[in-house]
């Protein structure tokens, strides 16, 4: 099929590349000339493992090109995806300005030559698909009324569930595809588009074998509103799961239990499942916070009090602050201390810093008068460019980070941090304090390497023999 994808961010670029890999002919459109220029040169505008390789294969298979103008591409297309950003406004509502501009531009670009599907892939508040239809029509104002009546299109909501860092695997081997629409023609075209994914009838790309046992991907057809709710409900549930693990971990610290053991124990329950139960410094990223806030906003608009959602945001904010508390417990005074952050990106394998816990932690430390150094294998340059207000000293190596530091904090669990020479790092520091915000290291190994170690939810202490201590006499 002939497909246009509007927006070449984390979602649009991956969607376009994967659809072309599956054999569709794809044009990606963005108003950001810099991003389009990079893509035209064969460079990915974002750090995402395997994306460069898939873009090359996409060009050879279905074919993919990148433009700043929508008109020609939309006219040639059967399906036009909208995958622009919907960042949060200060009120928590989603900012729909980009979506509105994109949908109007689609309306202005359509002609009468064929029936088209306008697919909304951006995460949008419940009811936005109706809005997209209205906006596409509004975009046709310049078209003569007679022609306008003959322009045929339908709208689908097709929420995206990819995770940055494993976006290509998530797109080619998804758990499910959700298509919201009440229009049989739209549903039929979406089924045709996704048939290679549903049937898994494509060669696995090099380096990304098809997961064992994966035969068919469920394609769930829902109402427009149902599809929009599924996206929010899924993300909100994941924040609750992580928040729950963090809250239990905090209790483990007090009662003397090891949270990783506790999570393994509850995760084996098939009703619970092991994923998203890793205690840490809290979740971040471009989606969770904004989606929970937007869902809360919708709930309030309809007079619903969503207490769990409110708590989820509060618990996560508090969890980020536990890093500061742990540093205070170890160092007492933070003013004038040098704290080294291991990792800046909100999670490993991405350069995305949106709502990253590291930013919050760095800001708090700087406010408290500490010096902040940071090392991130990928996201340091982006952090310096996007957050000039944070006076962070960026280090080129982990050794430079440790040099003369009073404490190290593991904020992002990059794979390369797992194999650090802890003893060598401890020797370079003023005081070898390690706040392991991702439970990357075994407390025993870190302690043996010379660190004063504290993890998350690791309350196990050496038991005091019952016979020791003074007997009551
Ligand atoms: N990033 C994720 O992991 C993820 C996962 C699932 C869903 N989503 C949702 O997908 C949507 C896109 O997210 P993202 O992370 O890719 O955003 P992004 O900010 O990385 O990319 C958005 C792109 O849209 C472009 N754009 C804005 N207005 C435009 C217009 N009128 N015409 C053409 N291009 C325009 C921007 O220049 C930018 O390149 C959001 O609604 C987000 O909530 C994101």
Task: Give tens-digit pLDDT for 304-322.
Answer: 999 999 999 999 999 999 9
Of ligand 1's atoms, which has the minimum distance to the CA of residue 86? 41
Ligand 1 mean position, distance from CA 32 (Å): 12
User: DSSP per residue over 324-384, as a string?
Assistant: HHHHHHHHS--TT-EEEEE--SSSTT----TT-HHHHHHHHHHHTT-EEEEE-TTTHHHHH
Residues 126-162 have pLDDT tens digits of: 888 889 999 999 999 999 999 999 999 999 999 999 9
Cβ(286) – ligand 1 distance below 6 Å: yes
Query: Residue 19's closest CA among 202, 176, 164, 183?
Result: 202
Ligand 1 mean position, distance from CA 415 (Å): 27
Residues 88-109 have pLDDT tens digits of: 999 888 899 999 999 999 999 9
Nearest CA to ligand 1 atom 10: 122
Residues 50-61 have pLDDT tens digits of: 999 999 999 999
pLDDT above 50: residue 468: no
Of ligand 1's atoms, which has the minimum distance to the CA of residue 10? 16
How much is the pLDDT for 126?
Answer: 87
Cβ(13) – ligand 1 distance below 6 Å: no
Cβ(98) – ligand 1 distance below 6 Å: yes
Cβ(289) – ligand 1 distance below 6 Å: no
pTM for this structure? 0.94
N- to C-terminal Cα distance for the chain?
Answer: 87
Residues 38-51 have pLDDT tens digits of: 999 999 999 999 99
Ligand 1 mean position, distance from CA 4 (Å): 14
Cβ(123) – ligand 1 distance below 6 Å: yes
Catalytic residue annotation: 287
Residue 6 near residue 102, CB atoms below 8 Å: yes
Give the mutation target among 17, 34, 85 for probing the ligand 1 site: most ligand atoms within 8 A of CB: 85
């Amino acid at each position: 099929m002939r497909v246009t994808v509007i927006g070449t961010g984390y979602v649009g670029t991956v969607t376009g590349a994967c659809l072309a890999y599956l054999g569709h002919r794809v044009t990606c459109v963005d108003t950001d000339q810099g991003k389009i220029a990079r893509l035209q040169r064969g460079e990915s505008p974002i750090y995402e493992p395997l994306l460069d390789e898939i873009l090359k294969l996409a060009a050879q298979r279905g074919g993919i090109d990148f433009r700043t103008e929508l008109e020609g591409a939309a006219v040639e297309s059967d399906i036009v995806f909208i995958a622009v950003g919907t960042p949060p406004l200060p009120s928590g509502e989603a900012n729909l300005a980009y979506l509105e501009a994109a949908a109007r531009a689609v309306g202005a670009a359509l002609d009468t030559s064929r029936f088209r599907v306008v697919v909304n892939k951006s995460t949008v508040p419940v009811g936005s698909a109706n809005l997209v239809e209205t906006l596409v029509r509004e975009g046709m104002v310049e078209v003569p009324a007679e022609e306008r009546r003959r322009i045929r299109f339908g709208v689908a909501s097709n929420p995206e569930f990819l995770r940055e860092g494993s976006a290509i695997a998530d797109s080619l081997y998804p758990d499910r595809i959700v298509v919201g629409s009440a229009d049989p023609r739209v549903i039929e075209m979406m089924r045709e588009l996704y048939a290679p994914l549903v049937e898994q009838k494509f060669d696995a790309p090099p380096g990304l074998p098809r997961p064992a046992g994966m035969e068919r991907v469920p394609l769930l057809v829902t109402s427009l509103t149902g599809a929009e709710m599924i996206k929010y409900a899924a993300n909100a549930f994941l924040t609750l799961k992580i928040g729950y693990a963090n809250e239990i971990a905090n209790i483990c610290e007090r009662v003397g239990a090891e949270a990783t053991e506790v999570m393994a124990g509850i995760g084996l329950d098939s009703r619970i499942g092991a994923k998203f139960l890793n205690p840490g410094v809290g979740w971040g990223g471009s989606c969770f916070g904004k989606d929970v806030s937007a869902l809360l906003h919708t709930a309030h608009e309809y007079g619903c009090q969503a207490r769990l959602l409110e708590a989820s945001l509060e618990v996560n904010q508090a969890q980020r602050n536990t890093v500061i508390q742990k540093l205070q417990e170890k160092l007492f005074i933070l003013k004038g201390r040098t704290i080294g952050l291991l990792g800046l990106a909100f999670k490993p394998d991405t350069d995305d810093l949106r709502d990253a816990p590291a930013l919050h932690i760095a800001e708090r430390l700087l406010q408290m008068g500490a010096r902040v150094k940071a090392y991130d294998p990928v996201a340091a340059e982006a952090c310096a460019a996007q957050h000039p207000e944070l006076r962070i000293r960026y280090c080129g190596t982990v050794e430079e980070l440790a040099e003369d530091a009073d404490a190290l904090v593991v904020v992002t669990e990059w794979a390369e941090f797992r194999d650090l020479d802890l003893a060598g790092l401890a020797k370079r520091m003023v005081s070898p304090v390690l706040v392991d915000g991702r439970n990357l290291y075994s407390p025993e190994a870190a302690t043996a390497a010379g660190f004063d170690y504290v993890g998350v939810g690791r309350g196990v202490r050496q038991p005091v023999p019952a016979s020791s201590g003074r007997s009551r006499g």
